A and B are shown apart, each in its own frame.
Chain A
Amino acid sequence: MSMFYIHQSVCVSAQKTNGVIDLDDIQPIKDNKLQAIEPNYDAIPPAMYRRMGRAVRLASGAALPLLNTLTFNGIVMGTANGGLEDCIKFLNQIVDYNEGKLTPTNFVQSTTNAIASQLAFFSANKGYNNTHVHRGLAFENAALDVGMMLNEFPDNSYLLGGIDEISAYQYNIESLANMYKKEVVLNTELYNSKTAGCIPGDGCAMFAVNKQKTGATAKLKAIGTLHTDKEEDVTQYLKHFIEKNVKDDALNLFLSGENGDSRYLPYYNACKKIVLNVKTEGFKHLCGEYATASSFALWLACYKIKSNNLKNVLIYNNFRGKQHSFMLVGDV
C-alpha cells in the first residue's frame, strides 16, 4: 500500500525544532530528562488552557498552527499514555479524599482520546477521529490508519500526530521498572554509554498529510511493524522490507532509534550491518526516549531530506526490544 506525502509539520521537542530550527545547538538534559520546550499557547483561550494537562497542551500548541491554516478531513493521533499526569492526579484525589466528592477535570483530561478530541473541538472537525495507544507502535499505527484513509479517500487530507508526556508519575513508574539510567549521562554522550537504561523524553510531532505531490516536503513511502524479541526476526524483516520498498533507490541515511540502553543495542547493531554502507545517525540524544519518539524521527527525516537534499531515509526504532518499526521516507 502506498502511503502519503507530508506537507507541513510542527515538532515540539526538547530541541530547537519549533519556530527557528537549530539542531546544532543541542539542548542538554535537565533533571536527567529531555522534556519538550513548551510552545507558544497564545492561541488557546486561557480558561481552556488552565484545564489542560501537559500532553493535551503540547499537542494543542503543536497542532494549532496547522489547524488554523489548513483544512483536514480527520484527525488521527498516536499516544501510548495520553494525559497520564491527569490520570494520576485524579487517582490521588480518589485515595486522598477517600472516594469523596471529586472534581472531574483531571478524569476527563486523562482519557487518551482527549488529545484528538480537543483538536477536533478547536477546529470544529467532525470527520474521522481516532486514537491509537499501542505503546511503542502507537504512532506507527496512527500513520498506517491515515495511509489507509488516503487509500480509501485519495482527495482527503489528515492531521497525523504522535505525542507522549513525561510526568513525575511516569518517571516514578518507569524508574521502578529500571527503564531509565541511574547515573547521570549527558545526552551528547548518550551513544557512548555502556549501561542499561535510557534518558526519558517527551514531545509531539504533527503532520499535515495527503496524496498530493505538489508542494510536499517529503513522502512516507512505506511503514512496517513487528512484535518480537528475536534479533533474527528483526533482521529478516528488515531485509524483506528493503527488498520490497527500497528497490534501486539509494538509501542516504539510516536513522537509528538506539537510546543508550545496552540491553537493546544488539537489535540496532544487527540492523546497521544490513545497511552497512549507509550513513547512520541517532536521534534519541535529541528527543529522549518515549513511546511515540518515532514521530520525532519522522519529523527529523523530513527536515533532513529537505535541508540536506537527501533521497531516502530509513528509520528503525524499537521500543524495549519488543515492538519494532521501520519507516522509509523519501524526497518528492
Chain B
Amino acid sequence: MSRIFVTGIGIISPLGDTLSLNHTALKQGHCGISTLELIHSNFAGKLPVGEIKTETQVFKEKLKVKETGYTRNSLLALHAFIDAINDSKLSNKEIASYDTALIGANSVGGMCLTDELYKDANSKSEASEYLSSYDGGSVTLAMQERYGMRGIIDTINTACSSSANSIMYGARLIQNGLAKRAIVGGSDSLAKYTINGFNSLYILSDEICRPFDSERKGLNLAEGAAFLVLESEETVDNKKVYAELTGYCNANDAFHPSSISENADGPFLAMQGALQKANLQPGQIDFINTHGTATENNDEAESTAMIRLFEKVPAFASTKSNTGHTLGAAGAIEAVYSILNLINQEIYQSLQYKNPIPKTSLVPVTAYTKMPINHVLSNSFGFGGNCSSLIFSKA
C-alpha cells in the first residue's frame, strides 16, 4: 500500500485564520475561548465558546462568494480548503482531475441557520435561499461546484470524529488506487442548534474548559475548519512534505449514544488499531493529542484507555483548552496541530489544568516543551461511540 504524505494545510480556528497564526498562538499558550457574541441566542454574552470573531458577511466578501445558499459552515470550509490547495500548489486542472478526491466532514451542516431552517421546515414564511444548504453534503458540494471537481467526492458525519474519518477515507482511496490525491478535512460552525443540544445534555461548562482536571465542568463549543492535501508517494515528487500519515483506525464503543463506557473499549481499539496500521509499538508514540473535551465522561474514559494501552503513558495534552471543541472539524484541526508538533519538534501546553483526575492520576503537559518527536497520535471520539485515531509521523 502506498505511503500517504501531507503536502498542503489550510486551517481557520478561534486561534487564527492561518497556519502561522495558529502555530504562534499554540506556542504562546493562547486561549481562543471567549464569550458568545455573533449568534442571536439567550446564551450570547454569557456562554464561553471558541468563536471566530468575523461576521459571516465578511467571509463572503473575503472569499468572493457570489453564489446563494452559502452558510457560515460552507464559508469556513472554503476558507481552509483554499489555503490547503494553495499551500500544496495544486493547479485548477489537478483539482478538477478525475483522480483528485474531496472528502469533507461536518456535524451540523447548514443547521447553523437555526432560525431559517425553523421557518422553512414549518412552512412559516416564503422560502429562504438556504433550502439546499441544510444537509451535511451541502458544505462539500459548495467546494466541489466552485472548482468543478470530478473525482470521488464524499461527506462524512460521525459527530465529533467526522473529520478524522474523512482523513482516513481519503488516505484509503489513495491506497486502494481510487485517487492519486485527496483533499480531506472538516468544518463546523457554532449554532444555536448545537449549543442547545449540548446544553440539554448538561455537558457545557459555564467556565473556560479544563481538560483532564479533576474539577472540569464540561466542554466549550467552538467553530473552525481544516483541510489537508494528501498525496501518494508516487505523486508527491519533490514537493514540500509536512508529515506522513502512517496509522489510522476507526472503532465503535457500542455502549451508549452520548457517553463512553467505563472500560473505554472504543478509544482503546481505535488507538490500538492505529498503532497496528502504522506498525508501531506503543512505546514509539512520543506524544498524544487527546480528544480531551473536558467533559466528566470523556477525559476519564480516555485516560483509562491510554493507561490500558501504554505501559508508560506518553506526553499528552488537549488543544481543546486552546480552541474549545470544534465538533466535526476537531479531527482535522487537531491533525494540523499534530503535524505542527512534528515539524517543529515541540509540544504545546494543555491550559487550565490544575489537579489530576483521582481515578487515573494522569498529568498532561503543562509547559511548552522542545523535544524529539517522531510519531504523534491524535484522538477523536464522537457521539454514537464513533472513535477514531490517526498517527502522523515525521516525513
The reply to whether B250 and A227 form a contact with Cβ atoms under 8 Å apart is no
Min distance, Cβ B144 to any Cβ of chain A, angstroms = 5
Chain B neighbourhood of A99, CB < 8 A: 41-43, 192, 196
Render B161-185 as a binary contact track against A, CB cut-off 8 A, 1 for contact: 0000100010011001110000000
Query: Cα distance A144–B176 when bound, in Å?
Result: 10
Which of B52-60, B113-121, B332-340, B358-366 lies at the interface with chain A? Answer: B113-121
Query: Cα distance A230–B144 when bound, in Å?
Result: 15
Chain B neighbourhood of A92, CB < 8 A: 118, 122
Interface size on B, residues (CB 8 A): 66
Counting residue pairs across A and B whose Cβ atoms lie within 8 Å, the total is 198
The reply to whether A108 and B122 form a contact with Cβ atoms under 8 Å apart is no
Query: Cα distance A227–B152 when bound, in Å?
Result: 9
Of residues 102 through 124 on chain B, the ones whose CB sits less than 8 Å from some CB of chain A are: 107, 111, 114-115, 117-118, 120-123
The reply to whether B257 and A114 form a contact with Cβ atoms under 8 Å apart is yes
CB of A111 within 8 Å of the partner chain: yes
Query: Cα distance A110–B172 when bound, in Å?
Result: 28
The reply to whether A176 and B131 form a contact with Cβ atoms under 8 Å apart is yes
Chain B neighbourhood of A1, CB < 8 A: 176-178
Among B169, B199, B384: residue with most chain A CB under 10 A:
B384
The reply to whether B159 and A113 form a contact with Cβ atoms under 8 Å apart is yes
Chain B neighbourhood of A225, CB < 8 A: 152-153
Q: Out of B117, B152, B265, B385, name the residue touching A144 (CB < 8 Å).
A: B152
The reply to whether A172 and B121 form a contact with Cβ atoms under 8 Å apart is yes
Chain A neighbourhood of B131, CB < 8 A: 173-174, 176-177
The reply to whether B196 and A94 form a contact with Cβ atoms under 8 Å apart is yes
The reply to whether B156 and A132 form a contact with Cβ atoms under 8 Å apart is yes
The reply to whether B156 and A133 form a contact with Cβ atoms under 8 Å apart is yes
- Taking CB as reference atom, which chain B residue is nearest A100? B42
Chain A neighbourhood of B215, CB < 8 A: none
The reply to whether A94 and B193 form a contact with Cβ atoms under 8 Å apart is yes
The reply to whether B169 and A104 form a contact with Cβ atoms under 8 Å apart is no
CB of B141 within 8 Å of the partner chain: yes
CB of B154 within 8 Å of the partner chain: yes
Query: Cα distance A208–B169 when bound, in Å?
Result: 21
Query: Cα distance A79–B269 when bound, in Å?
Result: 26
Min distance, Cβ A75 to any Cβ of chain B, angstroms = 8
Query: Cα distance A134–B140 when bound, in Å?
Result: 8
Of residues 248 through 278 on chain B, the ones whose CB sits less than 8 Å from some CB of chain A are: 250-258, 265-266, 269
Query: Cα distance A127–B176 when bound, in Å?
Result: 20
Chain B neighbourhood of A294, CB < 8 A: none
- Taking CB as reference atom, which chain A residue is nearest B120? A173
CB of B386 within 8 Å of the partner chain: yes
CB of A283 within 8 Å of the partner chain: no
Query: Cα distance A22–B362 when bound, in Å?
Result: 61
Interface size on A, residues (CB 8 A): 67
CB of B134 within 8 Å of the partner chain: yes
Min distance, Cβ B359 to any Cβ of chain A, angstroms = 23
Q: Out of A88, A102, A130, A169, name the residue touching B158 (CB < 8 Å).
A: A130
The reply to whether A88 and B257 form a contact with Cβ atoms under 8 Å apart is no
Of residues 134 through 155 on chain B, the ones whose CB sits less than 8 Å from some CB of chain A are: 134-138, 140-141, 144-145, 149-150, 152-155
- Taking CB as reference atom, which chain A residue is nearest B177? A1
The reply to whether A108 and B258 form a contact with Cβ atoms under 8 Å apart is yes
The reply to whether A113 and B382 form a contact with Cβ atoms under 8 Å apart is yes
Chain A neighbourhood of B123, CB < 8 A: 172, 175-176
Query: Cα distance A176–B159 when bound, in Å?
Result: 28
Chain B neighbourhood of A145, CB < 8 A: 169, 172
The reply to whether B250 and A172 form a contact with Cβ atoms under 8 Å apart is no
CB of A18 within 8 Å of the partner chain: no
Given contacts A126-B254, A129-B385, 8 further A-B contacts (CB under 8 A): A80-B137, A102-B196, A108-B257, A117-B252, A129-B250, A129-B384, A134-B155, A225-B153
- What are the 9 closest A-B residue pairs judged by CB atoms, nearest first? A117-B384, A135-B137, A107-B197, A129-B252, A176-B127, A104-B200, A169-B121, A177-B131, A134-B155
* 23 sampled A-B residue pairs with Cβ under 8 A: A80-B135, A91-B114, A92-B118, A94-B196, A95-B115, A95-B118, A102-B196, A104-B201, A108-B201, A109-B257, A116-B386, A120-B252, A128-B250, A129-B252, A130-B165, A132-B156, A137-B153, A144-B152, A144-B178, A148-B173, A176-B120, A176-B131, A226-B150
